[in-house]
Amino acid sequence: MEAKKMAILCLACKADTFVRREPVYEGFRKTGERIFCMSCGHEYASEGDVPYTTTAKPTLFTDADRSKRVEVFRNDEKGRNCRHCRHFVVNPFIQRCGRRHVEVQATDCCDDFQARSAVATETECDPLQRKLDQLLSD
Ligand SMILES: [Zn+2]
């Protein structure tokens, strides 16, 4: 209910108030809504006639949300690190890029970054291991 409470500047009573909605039923089926001024009870014929005040539109993003979204963006950037890349190969001695054939750090960023698919595992980066897996599963 509370979410549907929208601020208006009533045309009839000029009050800075809210609308009240009443469901309209045809038998047991809800066919629509009637919209009234909460202050004076003036009925608005349709949604388009309701003088919603622009300032009362719900604020979708607060400052807190905004910083949260920045955080998400940062995480995306982190997601482009070599350790999340399908070409990243780890063994006990070296971390390397299977595409560029150079030593890399897990935290490196790379233009050739390709995200590993959700089902991919470490071993899927290695063609030989993949072949071996295929042979074993056959
Ligand atoms: Zn009114």
Structure confidence by residue, pLDDT tens digits, 22-57: 999 999 999 999 999 999 999 999 888 999 986 545
Provide the b/e sequence for 51-85 (b: ≥16 CB within 10 Å): eeeeeeeeeeeeeeeeeeeeeeeeeeeeeebbeeb
- C-alpha 28 – ligand 1 centre gap (Å): 30
pTM: 0.37
Collapse the DSSP code of 108 into the 3-class scheme (helix H, G, I; strand E, B; otherwise coil) and give the result. coil
CB 87 within 8 A of CB 112: yes
- C-alpha 40 – ligand 1 centre gap (Å): 4
- DSSP one-letter code for 136: H
What is the per-residue pLDDT for 25?
Answer: 93
d(CA 99, CA 16): 64
